[in-house]
Amino acid sequence: MSGILFYELYASSVIREISFFDVLAEAYDPLDPNGNITIKWDVMTWNPDGYVAVVTIYNFQHYRHIQVPGWTLGWTWAKKEVIWSIQVTWNVTCTYSQFLAQKTPSCCVSLSSFYNSTIVNCPTCTCGCQNNITQPGSCVQPGSPYLANALSTPGRNTYTPLVRCTSHMCPIRVHWHVKLNYKEYWRVKITISNFNYRMNYSQWNLVVQHPNFENVTQIFSFNYKSLTPYANINDTGMLWGIKFYNDLLMTAGPSGNVQSEILFRKDQSTFTFDKGWALPRRIYFNGDNCVMPPPDEYPFLPNASSETIITLLHPVLTILASFLLLLAYV
């Protein structure tokens, strides 16, 4: 994704300093290493009492866009100047530092598979804890009378998350389920759940890193675009909703989720279900890096290799013993 914001400005002095989102800090994203935001300030003509400038904001990022409450642009004047008039045309996205934008993560990942009955939940207290005495009322149980009251008060339009009480306390959870195994293909189901009662997510996107994305065969009910942050290594894909179908992730509740399935073709030289290979390496939701479970908790293949070998060898040994016994009586 990319966007441009254009301003025509009539001012009476040169700008000293420009700030975007209050703090414009360096932030490196390994999945979008060249992504950046550029603010261009062009003095077009000079007047007796000032000048006319054109301010253009360029976004060169692949998948990060601005969510509500929206963007702001500010600057510091040399003196006490004012803007007499302003004209604007719209189309903008931006970049930001996740660590400066929020003190805690905003999403987490849970895992499951058909070959293991264990469901690996998001790490406990990923985005906060229920017993946090510094923020009482930061979560609410479904059906609680407090929920209706909190959403109907004058402060209901605040963008502070009001999340459903969970062990992880994250507004967004992404679940990756290794669903089926075929002879030449394997299938994954992805579910994005919104636990935030105060916010829906329009034009959401999901970025997933997995080595088998170079063998994507079909994606159901999501749009897909391949990202290649490492030149010829195609291990990253961007997913987003289909317009008027599931491009709006509703607030927490029965409709607060979107899901899709991905069919991968097997590359026999690399494919395996062993040691968590079928699980994602990294997941981003709306540009935020989601917290993964610890690798030692991943749903691994059952340790049944020795039993399988014994089962296969048993008929062979029986036939061999019968043959030797027959030779003994010849």
CB burial readout 278-292, b (16+ within 10 A) else e? bbbebbbbbbbbbbb
DSSP assignment letter at 171: S
Q: 3-state class of 106 per DSSP?
A: coil
Which of these, 12, 189, 182, 194, lies nearest to 85 by C-alpha position? 12
253/223: higher pLDDT: 223
Are the CB atoms for 62 and 1 separated by under 8 Å?
yes
The distance in angstroms from the start CA to the end CA of the chain is: 81
Out of 44-48, 90-94, 103-107, the most confident range is 103-107
The whole-number pLDDT of residue 155 equals 53
Distance between CA atoms of 242 and 251, rounded to whole angstroms? 18
Query: Which CATH number among 3.90.1150.10, 3.30.70.1520, 2.60.40.290, 2.40.110.10 corresponds to the domain 102-303?
Result: 2.60.40.290
DSSP codes joined into one string, 227-289? E-TBTTB--EEEEEEPTTTTSEEPSSSTT-EEEEEEEEE--TTT--SGGGTTS-SEEEETTEE
pTM exceeds 0.75, yes or no: no
Q: Are strands 205-209 and 236-241 parallel, antiparallel or unpaired?
A: antiparallel
The whole-number pLDDT of residue 218 equals 95
CATH 2.60.40.290 location in the chain: 102-303
Q: What is the pLDDT of residues 13-63, one digit of tens each?
A: 444 444 454 334 445 677 776 677 777 777 777 777 777 777 777 777 666
In degrees, to the nearest 5, what angle opens at C-alpha 237 toward C-alphas 233 and 239? 175
Q: What is the pLDDT of residues 202-234, one digit of tens each?
A: 999 999 999 999 899 999 999 999 987 677 788
pLDDT tier for residue 123 given thresholds of 50, 70 and 90? very high
The whole-number pLDDT of residue 89 equals 41
193/58: higher pLDDT: 193
Phi-psi region of 180 (alpha: psi -120 to 50; beta: other; left: phi over 0): beta
Residue 154, CB-side half-sphere exposure with 13 Å CA sphere: 0
